[in-house]
Structure 1
Amino acid sequence: MGEKKLPIALSNRHLHLSQEHIEILFGEGYELNKFKDLSQPGQFAAQEKVDLVGPKGTLKGVRVLGPARPNTQIEISLTDGFVLGVTPPVRDSGDVAGSPAVKIVGPKGEVQLKEGVLAASRHIHMHTDDAEKFGVEDKQRVKVRTTGERAVVFENVLVRVHPTFALEMHVDIDEGNAAGIKNGELVELITE
């Protein structure tokens, strides 16, 4: 069996907003404006940025990703958590129950979250065809080996399979920098 290679990307701090929160932060009836497309089809980095205010400090100019989601979710690194004064749990996207709260400040208003801040678990987006090729299933946990001077093996990597996904692994900025990873680098999926 040959090597199973896929691209990896570093995910910097960002947030997904509900339409309700978009309108509070940017104005009634507001729609996000595309800055650039992301690797996942239909997803984009918006032109809009907000400030996140925690009990200890503020992160200014945090990028909003679109389109609007059913629920607001903020994804930061553990290092960002130190700046804000919160401890984000490492969790799969969407699992925000009991996570820390911060205030989101936009040009037209503010939203005080009750929960919603996390450090996203490392994960792989896979199209259904890729999952078949790699011999993995949705929600399976795998290992991924990097190369280079600071090579590591990432364990407990969540595989997310969907017919609209494009093949790419995501790690947060702390993990990526620690392993000396560059966006688009190829890494090896390991199944045991």
Structure 2
Amino acid sequence: MKDTRQLVEEVTRMVIGELQLRIVVGVSNRHAHLSREDLATLFGLDELTVYRRVRQPSDFAAEQTVSIAGPRGAFPKLRLMGPCRPKTQVELSRTDCIALGIDAPITQSGHLDDAGPIDIEGPRGTIHVEHGVMVAARHIHMGPSHAKAWGLADQDLVQVQFGGERGGVLDNLIIRIKDDWVPEIHLDTDEANALGLRDGEYGKLILP
């Protein structure tokens, strides 16, 4: 029969293991990334201005906002995210796309060949981006050390379990790895609302 010390050590290892699999949730509201060329056209600027830092060290919410319009409607004051990207992209939820009348694919950031069209207006001008609107595929950011510890590689697909009254398990979260990234689950507002999640809550990684 195990003594008290052995039981405490086993329970402690189990608790630590469970905690190590917990990853913070980042609920991603509608936003846009601009190329430097489009930033200059819309704002006459070379760089975006930092409004608020986000969890990923290299990224930030910018002070600048734009208006976007589709065949059925428009959204004013859409927040821009920095730094600038090679190509302009607008990330919306499926509900947002329906409201604007835009058919946009569920895809990864930067995969814009089949992205939907959008008109973007800033204080200095307007642009039309023929392949600009996407619904971001659910994913998890992490650095190489975290991926190694969990036995994961870039582009792996995993499941995550969420608690709470409307909790459940989501499939097909894409592992995305970059040197300076920290572990963070990215869901859009449709996904978060369906599970009753708020920004800053946690999901439990289900390892393959």
Name the TM tier (shorter chain).
Answer: over 0.9
**Contact conserved, 2:31 with 2:91, CA < 8 A, in 1?**
yes
- Post-superposition shift, 1:99? 1.5
**Contact conserved, 1:59 with 1:83, CA < 8 A, in 2?**
no
1:36 to 52, 55, 77: 52
Query: 1:154 is matched with which residue?
Result: 170
**Contact conserved, 2:67 with 2:78, CA < 8 A, in 1?**
yes
Is 1:135 the equivalent of 2:151? Answer: yes
- Counterpart code for 1:172: D
Where do 5+ consecutive residues of structure 2 fail to align? 1-13
Query: 2:3 is matched with which residue?
Result: none
CA RMSD of aligned residues (A): 1.1
Question: Deviations 1:27-54 (Å, cap 9, x if unpaired)?
Answer: 1x44211101111112110000000110
Distance 1:117 1:160 in 2: 20
Query: 2:132 is matched with which residue?
Result: 116
Distance 2:201 2:149 in 1: 20
TM-score (norm 1): 0.96
Corresponding residue pairs, total: 191
Is 1:101 the equivalent of 2:117? Answer: yes
Query: 1:168 is matched with which residue?
Result: 184
Structure number with greater Rg is 2
Runs of 4+ displaced beyond 6 Å: none
Query: 1:26 is matched with which residue?
Result: 43
SS at match of 2:131: coil
Where do 5+ consecutive residues of structure 1 fail to align? none
Query: 1:13 is matched with which residue?
Result: 30
- Counterpart code for 1:16: H
Please show how residues 56-67 of structure 1 align to structure 2 within 5 Å.
Answer: 56-67=72-83
Taking every aligned residue pair, what percent have the same amino acid on both sides?
40
